[in-house]
Amino acid sequence: MSKKQLGLDSMGIQKTMRLGDYLADSGGQFALNSISGLIGAITYFYTDKIGVAAMTAANVLLIAKIVDAFTDLIMGRIMDNGKSPKGKCRPWFLRMAIPAFVVIVALFSVPSGLSSPMLFAYLLITNILASAVVSTAISIPYNAIQCMRTPSIEERTKMGIFRSIMGYLIGMIIAIALVPITNLLGVNGVADQAAYIKFAVVLGLISMVLLLILYAKSAETATAEQKQDDGVPFVKAIGMLFKNKYWVIVLISNLFSAVIFALTGASGTYYAKWILGNDNLVALMGAVGLISTFVGFGVVGPMTNKLGIRKTLMISMIIGIAGSVVRIFFPDSLIVLMTAGQLTSFAIIPLMCVCGTMNTMAMDYNDYLYGNKIVGMSASASSFGSKVAGGLGGSLIGWILAAVNYDPNATVTTTAVRYGIYAFSIYIPLAMMVALLLLTSRFDIENRYTEILRTIQARKKTQSPNV
């Protein structure tokens, strides 16, 4: 029995993707978020399970992310110049399947008895391999292939929703289950290093399998004309991108959202342990947060179809800001945290879902301006900023803890430590959401997007770039 023919989207563009394609594509997000989620949670593992000083952990994460940011730019050029018959993006999913498993496990396999310099070197090398090598070699092609799989904005948005759901699920698994499961696997109900390694092995194996499935199902269906990105020198490409208003908005939005994601991903355990008095409460906090999360995933599609990307993001940021403001006045209340926290959890979902679509729209605007999407450099340069910001977000926790003289073995929480935890859990994310509200209000490309696509198509027929 032949498959049902796919129709056209609302803009008259031929659809190319079926449910199985979306599911396979979302598997890449599982692998990426497994790496990033575990790195986000690793500060607590370092400080409270391995005995690493908070400042040391912070410096390791920041250095690794700075290296990561520069390897993004290199990866963008490598990908754009790729000549594999399987495509520019697709081969990297196969190449990184086994390395993804290895680095996920290596993050927690810290040898005992190392001297301080050797310990620092091990932590730094494993974090660089995980984030700057393996994750980069997956994420840059993965971000770029969203544009090369389909020209349909509707399908790109749907890809973003599927990716966000998968990414959020693994993020929640790490946030909710990491502490309780490792405590269960540990000695006398207390997590030890072996428990963390077992958890990492499971995530690593699943990530490897899903990357192999992604490789098998990720045919690049864009035309050769749509794939063309060669011949633009590095410096010139960067200059072009910064003249693209919409790419700059996406870049800065990624910066701020990366800080929020890094802080929220790594702060929950500290908040549960030192503010609420029980680190196992992080599971309850995460489980309750799933309510607004699934509501967000359910409404983001209808919201963007009805209101557009810009208005959807502005409304979600206002909701998130309101929730954070409430938490400022009742920071120690579990009830307020679980209710007002619903608003902040909801606020992040639309941005997660449409960020990739926003980037592909910015790539199309590159094509409108220069006759070239600059796919690889668009993805890598944007990721460069996100990686630096993500590293900064993760390091902020370590720096703030060091500044307030955090002692993981203390029996009483000092006022300074409490306000330090408030800072990276509430105050800084609130400031970032205000900034995102201002930024997304300027993303008005939707009002002229159809006209932009028509101009691009008309130019391709005459082969006269609008430079």
For residue 335, give both structure tokens.
């009830």
Question: What Cα–Cα distance (Å) separates residue 337 from each residue in 279, 282, 345?
Answer: 15, 11, 11
The pLDDT tens digits for 132-182 are 899 999 988 888 887 778 777 778 878 888 888 888 788 777 777 787 888
- The CATH number of residue 59's host domain is 1.20.1250.20
Decide if pLDDT at 467 tops 70: no
422 against 278, higher pLDDT = 422
Whether residue 84 lies inside any domain: the answer is yes
The confidence score (pLDDT) of residue 443 equals 92
Q: Mind spelling out the 3-state secondary structure of the chain? A: CCCCCCCECCCCCECCCCHHHHHHHHHHHHHHHHHHHHHHHHHHHHHHHHCCCHHHHHHHHHHHHHHHHHHHHHHHHHHHCCCCCCCCCCHHHHHCHHHHHHHHHHCCCCCCCCCHHHHHHHHHHHHHHHHHHHHHHHHHHHHHHHHHHCCCHHHHHHHHHHHHHHHHHHHHHHHHHHHHHHHHHCECCECCHHHHHHHHHHHHHHHHHHHHHHHHHCCCCCCHHHHCCCCCCHHHHHHHHHCCHHHHHHHHHHHHHHHHHHHHHHHHHHHHHHHCCCCCHHHHHHHHHHHHHHHHHHHHHHHHHHHCHHHHHHHHHHHHHHHHHHHHHCCCCHHHHHHHHHHHHHHHHHHHHHHHHHHHHHHHHHHHHHCCCCHHHHHHHHHHHHHHHHHHHHHHHHHHHHHCCCCCCCCCCCHHHHHHHHHHHHHHHHHHHHHHHHHHCCCCHHHHHHHHHHHHHHHHHHCCCCC
- Which band of pLDDT confidence, cut at 50, 70 and 90, is reported for residue 128? very high
- Which band of pLDDT confidence, cut at 50, 70 and 90, is reported for residue 235? confident
- Which band of pLDDT confidence, cut at 50, 70 and 90, is reported for residue 1? very low
Question: Among 248-252, 325-329, 371-375, whose mean pLDDT is lowest?
Answer: 371-375
Domain count, the chain: 1
The confidence score (pLDDT) of residue 226 equals 46
Pick the closest to residue 315 from 341, 361, 346 (CA basis).
346
Whether residue 13 lies inside any domain: the answer is no
Whether residue 8 lies inside any domain: the answer is no
For residue 332, give both structure tokens.
């120690």
Decide if pLDDT at 204 tops 60: yes
- Which band of pLDDT confidence, cut at 50, 70 and 90, is reported for residue 104? very high
Whether residue 10 lies inside any domain: the answer is no
Question: What Cα–Cα distance (Å) separates residue 398 from each residue in 53, 59, 368, 412?
Answer: 9, 8, 43, 19
The confidence score (pLDDT) of residue 393 equals 72
The pLDDT tens digits for 397-446 are 888 988 999 888 888 889 999 999 999 889 999 999 999 999 999 998 98
Whether residue 16 lies inside any domain: the answer is no
238 against 327, higher pLDDT = 327
The pLDDT tens digits for 175-202 are 777 878 888 888 877 778 889 999 999 9
- d(C-alpha 217, C-alpha 194), whole Å: 35
Which residues lie across from 190 on neighbouring strands? Answer: 187
The confidence score (pLDDT) of residue 173 equals 78
Question: What Cα–Cα distance (Å) separates residue 216 from each residue in 19, 149, 212, 422?
Answer: 15, 13, 6, 45
Mean pLDDT of the chain: 83
pTM of the predicted model, to two decimals? 0.68
Torsion sign (Cα): 70, 72, 73, 77: positive
Number of C-beta neighbours around residue 283 at 10 A: 21
Whether residue 37 lies inside any domain: the answer is yes
Contacts of 146 (CB under 8 A, 6+ apart): 156, 159, 160, 356, 357, 359, 360
Give the angle subtended at the CA of 57 by the CAs of 55 and 62, to the nearest 5°. Answer: 95
- d(C-alpha 75, C-alpha 132), whole Å: 10
Whether residue 3 lies inside any domain: the answer is no
- d(C-alpha 229, C-alpha 425), whole Å: 41
Q: Which domain holds residue 246?
A: 22-462
- d(C-alpha 228, C-alpha 140), whole Å: 16
The confidence score (pLDDT) of residue 382 equals 66
Q: What does R_g of the chain's alpha carbons equal in angstroms?
A: 22
Give the angle subtended at the CA of 168 by the CAs of 162 and 174, to the nearest 5°. Answer: 145
- Which band of pLDDT confidence, cut at 50, 70 and 90, is reported for residue 224? very low
- d(C-alpha 340, C-alpha 332), whole Å: 12
